A and B are shown apart, each in its own frame.
Chain A
Amino acid sequence: MTVEDWFRHDRLPHIFCAGCGNGSIINSTLEAVDSLNWKVDETVFVSGIGCSSRAPGYIVTDSLHTTHGRALAFATGVKMANHDLNVVVFTGDGDLSAIGGNHFIHACRRNIDLTVICMNNQIYGMTGGQGSPCTPTGALSTTTPYGMDEPAFDLCDLATAAGANFVSRWTSYHVRELTRSIKLGLQKPGLSFIEVMVQCPTNYGRRNRLRDVEAMVSKMRDHALLKEKYDRLVAERKPIPEGSFVVGTLTDRNLPALGVRR
């Protein structure tokens, strides 16, 4: 097997816009899956609704493209009915934390043996750029024309607080780190949550003075603060750079998990 063999070639080309980062996240995921020698016919990809949720449709395994926000509930059913299947969920920030927020915290609380990859573009991409619970304060979207006046969720804090065994955050820029992190998540019994900050030039960049993909990706790179560095700054009581977000493995523990293959 190679990564190529995991794609559903007769479904390509994909629907993602030029400059979208979702494709590289799918690549990282399949590279991780392939490097673990997972079997196509023992693996199921599940998703909700959104651009990010189209990912399973491009992968050759059994796949379940469900209803908006409910991917984790469907995935819970798949995993509970058959522990022997490897179940990976793709979701978007709106899918996961707005309409699907309740399923998210309960899946983490159950610590059910799923790997959840959230493509966080901080916007509702599929429906044309409305604000999401992850849209940064002040950012413009079609439903926050005067700037988002609500604070954003920290999805990783949420997953950690709710009980997930493995939590990490990377960006579409950090391809190698991301692949390694997904690999750790796939191997970890219990719920693994991997948040990937990803550029949406069409619906986020365009409205927020980040005209090209290059600008969006460099902004992400420049504001990503490695967990180790963040910890050091905190220990040394130094200020955390404004607008930065922490990347790296944020939680790694071995709480009792549900649905683990015996």
Chain B
Amino acid sequence: MTRVDFMQGNIASAEGALAAGCRFFAGYPITPSSEVAEHMARRLPKVGGRFIQMEDEIASMAAVIGGAWTGVRSMTATSGPGFSLMMENIGYAAFTETPCVVVNIQRGGPSTGQPTLAAQGDMLQCRFGSHGDYSTIALAPSSVQEMFDLTVKSFNLADRFRAPAFLMADEIIGHLRERVEFPDTVECTPPRPIREGMLPFEPEEDLVPGFTPFGHGHRVHVTGLTHNEKGYPASTDPDLHERLVMRLIEKVERARHEIADYDIENPDAEVVFISYGVPTRSVRQALLDAPEGLYGHLNLRIVWPFPENLLKKFPNARVFLVPELNMGQMAREIVRHCDQPVISLPRLGGELHTPQYLLDRAEEYR
């Protein structure tokens, strides 16, 4: 039995987290994400979980990591300025292989920018924002239903890869109200426990170590210093550092095709849109308004790790058009992976590309 409701994207994300078994939330209010925290504050105590409003987003991210190490699914939600403050501890989560979820309801930046208007300006920050090299998992919902579904998925991916996962939504989807279907139960795949005889940071075949939450007798030492497989600091061994960083990147990157989550329309088209998040809605309307089959569309629900093989699913593509609510952040990534021209269609200020605008641009490349 599924339950049908009509609700806001931010609330659907919170409901997705609860359905996924999230029982700890630490956050700091910020428009346009606050409804996620408010809903968690209301609901968590009723399901045996705990909510805490921290003193800032640095502390929120720290608390989420602390919570996650007790083996409890933990999450925070924020927007641009708060996301910037979280960066140091996001790097800590990546390096210590801490599974946790960060919801970013993106708004116009830089700085305080446009608190009430949508943007996708943090797509590279979520990939590269903390210092040093690491890899990351990021999902992009384009409907309220996906706010629910992809929040659940974020937890499963975070646990599977022992990495922070980012739900990179935006103000429009966060505040949009739509029909949502809630299944009675959702698929929850907890982190793989450590196997007898393995060290706490010793990778399995898939490069992910088994998880050793606190309070279970593992006696694990967790540090943001470069560490050996025991978890002990070993920060002056060049080879060990290189191996560790490469493994953390590889464990995520090598799974990019397997975990890819996308829709493809009109794969034979010569002019192909690539989108993720809210611009996907404009592209879909543009395709409906255009002669049937004229334009192709790749919609990405997982943007990082970037599944570049999908570009090959459009064998006739002469050009890729990439509408984004930023100055072409993911377009830069797409350029790296194809020979065709990649045309970035930036839109800043908080409004969407109209379908007509997209059709006019596509017309130029027909």
Contact = CB atoms under 8 A, between A and B. Distances in A.
B215 A70 contact: no
B217 A41 contact: yes
Nearest to A83: B50
B69 interface: yes
Contacts of B63: 73-74, 76-77, 80
B69 A78 contact: yes
Interface string A71-112: 001111111111011000000000000000011001000000
B74 interface: yes
Interface residues of A, number: 34
Given A42-B215, A66-B62, A102-B56, A85 B70 contact: yes
Contact of B58 (A60, A63, A70, A76): A70
A163 interface: no
Given A65-B225, A76-B54, A84 B62 contact: no
Contact of A70 (B52, B62, B218, B230): B62
Contacts of A106: 54-55, 59
Contacts of B233: 57, 65
B55 A77 contact: no
B223 A103 contact: no
A44 interface: yes
B66 to A, nearest CB: 3
A67 B67 CA distance: 15
B221 interface: yes
A199 B8 CA distance: 57
B221 A8 contact: yes
B214 A85 contact: yes
Contact of A81 (B58, B67, B89): B67
A64 B222 contact: yes
A46 B223 contact: no
Contact of A56 (B56, B60, B74, B221): B221
Interface in A187-245: none
B203 interface: no
A57 B223 contact: yes
For the side of the interface on B, what is the size category? Answer: 35 or more
A61 interface: yes
A249 to B, nearest CB: 27
B89 A11 contact: no
Interface string B60-99: 1011111111101010000000000000110010000000
B interface majority secondary structure = mixed
Nearest to A45: B221
Nearest to A259: B50
Contact of B74 (A65, A70, A81, A102): A81
B219 A80 contact: no
B222 A63 contact: yes
A41 B219 contact: yes
A247 B26 CA distance: 36
A62 interface: yes
A57 B221 contact: yes
B221 A81 contact: no
Nearest to A8: B221
Contact of A63 (B24, B54, B215, B221): B221
Contacts of A102: 55-56, 59
Q: Which of A8, A10, A40, A65 has the most CB of B within 10 A?
A: A65
B224 interface: yes
Contact of A80 (B52, B88, B223): B52
A73 B59 contact: yes
Given A62-B220, A106-B55, A74 B66 contact: yes
Given A41-B217, A82-B70, A65 B224 contact: yes
Contacts of A103: 55, 59, 62
B224 A66 contact: yes
Contact of A66 (B67, B92, B215, B230): B92
B74 A67 contact: no
A100 to B, nearest CB: 10
B26 A80 contact: yes
A41 B59 contact: no
Nearest to B215: A85
B366 interface: no
Interface of B: 23-24, 26, 50, 52, 54-56, 58-60, 62-70, 72, 74, 88-89, 92, 214-225, 230, 232-233
The 3 closest A-B pairs by CB, nearest first: A77-B66, A77-B63, A73-B62
19 contacts: A61-B219, A62-B69, A63-B221, A65-B223, A65-B233, A67-B62, A70-B59, A76-B63, A77-B52, A77-B62, A77-B66, A78-B66, A79-B66, A80-B24, A80-B50, A80-B67, A81-B67, A82-B72, A102-B59
